[in-house]
Amino acid sequence: MARRTHRKSRNGCLECKRRHVKCDERQPVCSNCTTSERVCEYSSRFVSVPPRSPLPRSLVQSAPPTPASDSAGAASPGTSNDPAPVPFSDQPVNMLHVELFHNLYTQVHLTFDPTGSLTWLPEIIRHSITTPYFVNAMLAFSALHMSTTRPDRREFYRYHAAQLQTHALVIFKELTPQVNQETCVPLFLFAAILGIHMLCDTLIYREGDFSDFITRFVHFFRVYYGVRAIIGEAWHIIQDTPLAPSFNLGQDLYKWDGNLNPGCAKLHDAIARANLGEDLTATYRRAVQSLQACFNVAEGTHEWHASINGVTTWPILLSIEFGDLLEQGRPEALVILAHYALLLHRFRDSWLFGDSGRFVIEEVTRHLGQEWEEWLQWPNEVLRSQL
């Protein structure tokens, strides 16, 4: 009897081929690798990662970069012409999702609400849990958290953080949800968590030199700037949701009261004396005034979530022109960024920021040199006093 021929698939992942098991070829992570929590990597001929395409209403400019392949075996992204991934809502639940969901509710929420004072938070989460793009974004943020708390599996969780966030962005683009009573809460929370995720990834995972860091920070800033578009559209509708009390409180907190601490006052005056022109001076002075408002929030409350909020809110308060000035490497903009880094340094024990504050201050000082030493006196004095 002739043996029945068998056509062997060549499209399976590299890990399944190594283990000599049948791969279901699900991407970006096959079922075998999901179940066994292995890093799933496909040959560059077969990998399918969603395209980095713009999203509506200027929310974001592109999907987040996926960590490059390294010695830990994290997978690399494919080409921009690859097909989109299977939406989260169409994927079977796997143990990684369960792990991330459990971590989200037992650990991540403590970052913003360690005392349980945000009584409305569970209601908001329950309301939004059926929104696929928001669910993906939350799981992505949980994966980012685990990449910092599980250093032995850092690249594994960071890879999945990028993949899940990319899923969220692709689903959001496909749905193009309009702001209404039903969508305003998950839209607002999605925009907020997307921005915080990108900020933390930029601050914690600093690949390359200082110019690379600035490039990534400007990219984050432009993405985060889109949060304001959603807030603007949802302004009146949010007043009829459980978010209203905190939203209104936040508006009051971030109004500059006209006073500056000594460090910000010195910077404010230096900008005024620099003869930079009316428009440039106004942009810089507004950035310093917004920074002072964030210092007031971070230092003037005993509520941990409000203090952290003071750190993550400053980029939202800036004009888009400030991002352009950072991209151009304008020294005054870099000096202001170094002063913002004092807020990052204040919360250096938080997984969100780590040692990024010290990094920014030291790198800006090195990059600008002695000519700008006086402008950077306050940030460097703080670092020296805490050695």
pLDDT of the chain along its 387 residues, tens only?
454 444 555 678 888 887 788 888 877 677 787 767 676 776 644 334 333 333 333 343 344 444 543 333 333 333 334 444 444 445 556 789 999 989 988 888 777 776 666 666 666 666 667 889 999 999 999 999 999 999 999 999 999 999 999 889 888 888 878 888 888 888 888 888 898 999 999 999 998 899 999 999 999 888 877 666 766 677 778 777 777 766 666 666 777 778 999 999 999 999 999 999 999 999 999 999 999 999 988 887 656 666 788 898 899 889 999 999 999 999 999 999 999 999 999 999 999 999 999 999 999 999 999 999 999 999 999 999 876
| pLDDT for the residue numbered 148 | 95
Residue 54 has a pLDDT of 31
Contacts for 250 with CB less than 8 Å, ≥ 6 apart: 309, 313
Q: Which residues of 250-269 are buried (b: 16+ CB within 10 A; e: fewer)?
A: eeebbebeeebeebbebbbe
What is the model's pLDDT at position 72? 34
Q: What is the CA radius of gyration of the chain?
A: 23
- The full set of domains in the chain, from first to last, is 10-48 (4.10.240.10), 56-72+87-243 (no CATH), 253-385 (no CATH)
Distance of CA 17 to the CA centre of its chain: 35
Nearest to 31 by CA among 94, 89, 84: 94
Q: How far apart are the first and last CA of the chain?
A: 80
Q: Which residues touch 28 (CB under 8 Å, ≥6 apart)?
A: 40, 47, 48, 49, 75, 85, 163
Query: What pLDDT shows up at residue 324?
Result: 95
Residue 28 confidence (pLDDT):
66
CA–CA separation, 159 vs 72, rounded Å?
Answer: 11
